[in-house]
Amino acid sequence: MDFKDYYKILSVEPDADSKAIKTAYRKLARKYHPDVSEHHEAEEKFKEVTEAYEVLKDPEKRAQYDELRRYGGQVPPQGWQQGGFSGTQAGRQSSHQFDGDFSDFFNSIFGGFSQSGGGSGERRSGSQQGFYSEAGFSQKGDDIETDMPIFLEDTLTNTSKKISYNLPHRDGQGRVSTVTKTLNVKIPAGVSDGERIRLKGQGGQGIGNAPAGDLYLRIRLVPHPLFDVEAHNLIITVPLAPWEAALGTSLELPTLNGKIKLTIPPNSQTGQRLRIKGKGLVRKDGHGDLYAVLKVVMPAATSAESKKHWQELAASNAFDPRKEWRK
């Protein structure tokens, strides 16, 4: 168990007054709040900062912590709280006790429950401020929110997906550990990015007689190598040789469910969009469309013969691509 330097975590001096500590905490809490921050460790950082503030804002806890710090930051041995230190006894009697979200280090000093491991990507929500203090308390289980990656192909029909997620599990003594749960979830056709699906009662277990929390799945459409999503429409870029753009052609176009024949009209232009009706994503009231966006590309190398053809074209063509500049 590592010693936690709460002063360092809040970037304050060990003799900082309570006002400075509060200001530092507020600044860091805003910076790392998981609902605001894009930082990849936002949740961990936020917890750390909250824990540091929980100790340093309370003169009694701060004094206890400072004493420990003076002893060279040795993590207290078993039974330390009972060993004559004034102040709080083991956690349950203190009036406000976080439900296991603080570190083992914190719990070893101030009592409480240890929580092993941590969710990967899941965010516990709802009852985090659900302090509990006495036996017999009952509280609804935590809601769990987690991302559910879905391939575009899978949104076309109703589908079934396996999902694994971590849940806090509380044993009879109130100790919290993490268990992994796996479910088969029916995903209805036509789900969209960011949509939420609620699975009732599949969240954390309730305390006492209270029911379990819910599981919220946030649909995340997995980026596709060929198709981009725009609402319910799909976009595919179609590379064309200059002569195909000039003369028109017919090609096989991939769609989400098989290939179709696409006719490119003569005199096509880069950026031009061709609409293929009904080949987009599934909507509640039908299908979106597929847009083929044309992109004229030059061959990497030109043979002597090709060069001759280009030269003939150049000599016989009055086309001025920079007409706009001469206005």
Partner 1 sequence: MQLSGEYFSFEELCYATEMSSQTVIDIIDHGIVEPVGSDPDSWRFSMQMVSISKKAYRLHRDLEIDWSGIALAISLLEELDQLRDENRHLRKRLERFLGD
DSSP-assigned letter for residue 36: T
- Interaction between residue 35 and partner 1 (CB under 8 A): yes
Judged by CB under 8 A, the number of residues near partner 1 is 38
Based on CB atoms, which residue is closest to partner 1, 9 or 68? 9
Which token pair is 257? 């469910």
Query: Smallest gap, in angstroms, from Cβ of residue 218 to partner 1?
Result: 8
- Interaction between residue 200 and partner 1 (CB under 8 A): yes
- Interaction between residue 228 and partner 1 (CB under 8 A): yes
- Interaction between residue 132 and partner 1 (CB under 8 A): no
Helices and strands of the chain, counted as H and E runs: 7, 14
- Interaction between residue 183 and partner 1 (CB under 8 A): yes
- Interaction between residue 127 and partner 1 (CB under 8 A): yes
From 88-96, 103-111, 228-236, 314-322, span contacting partner 1 (CB under 8 A):
228-236
Query: Smallest gap, in angstroms, from Cβ of residue 83 to partner 1?
Result: 34
- Interaction between residue 274 and partner 1 (CB under 8 A): no
Q: Which of 78, 82, 184, 209 binds partner 1 (CB under 8 A)?
A: 184
Where helices occur in the chain by DSSP H, the ranges are 6-9, 18-32, 42-56, 59-70, 104-110, 242-247, 304-316
Q: Is the dihedral of CA 301, 305, 307, 312 positive or negative?
A: negative
Coil, helix or strand at residue 154: helix
Distances (CA, A) of 139 to 13, 127, 203, 212, 277: 39, 8, 13, 9, 52
Q: Which of 1, 5, 13, 26 binds partner 1 (CB under 8 A)?
A: 26
- Interaction between residue 210 and partner 1 (CB under 8 A): no
Based on CB atoms, which residue is closest to partner 1, 40 or 326? 40
Q: Which of 51, 143, 154, 244 binds partner 1 (CB under 8 A)?
A: 143
Backbone phi and psi for residue 305, each to the nearest 5 degrees, phi listed first: -70, -45
Cα gap 323→117, rounded to integer Å: 65
What's the first-to-final CA gap in the chain, in angstroms? 74
Q: Which of 5, 11, 17, 30 binds partner 1 (CB under 8 A)?
A: 30
Cα gap 225→252, rounded to integer Å: 17
- Interaction between residue 199 and partner 1 (CB under 8 A): yes
- Interaction between residue 33 and partner 1 (CB under 8 A): yes
Query: Smallest gap, in angstroms, from Cβ of residue 304 to partner 1?
Result: 24
Coil, helix or strand at residue 84: coil
Name every residue whose Cβ is closer than 8 Å to that of residue 264 and which is 6 or more positions away in sequence. Answer: 238, 240, 244, 245, 248, 249, 250, 251, 274, 294
Cα gap 273→293, rounded to integer Å: 4
Query: Smallest gap, in angstroms, from Cβ of residue 295 to partner 1?
Result: 6
Question: Which 81-120 positions form the footprint of partner 1 (CB under 8 A)?
Answer: none
Question: Which 295-314 positions form the footprint of partner 1 (CB under 8 A)?
Answer: 295, 297
From 5-13, 60-68, 85-93, 289-297, span contacting partner 1 (CB under 8 A):
289-297
From 5-13, 77-85, 109-117, 123-131, span contacting partner 1 (CB under 8 A):
123-131
Q: Which of 23, 103, 125, 159 binds partner 1 (CB under 8 A)?
A: 125
In the chain, DSSP assigns E strands to 123-125, 143-150, 159-170, 176-187, 196-199, 215-221, 227-230, 233-240, 249-255, 258-264, 273-276, 282-283, 286-287, 290-296
Q: Is the dihedral of CA 181, 186, 190, 195 positive or negative?
A: negative
Question: Which residues sit at the interface with partner 1, rule CB under 8 A?
Answer: 26, 29-30, 33, 35-36, 46, 50, 125-130, 140, 143, 145, 183-186, 188, 195-200, 214, 216, 223, 228, 230, 235, 237, 293, 295, 297
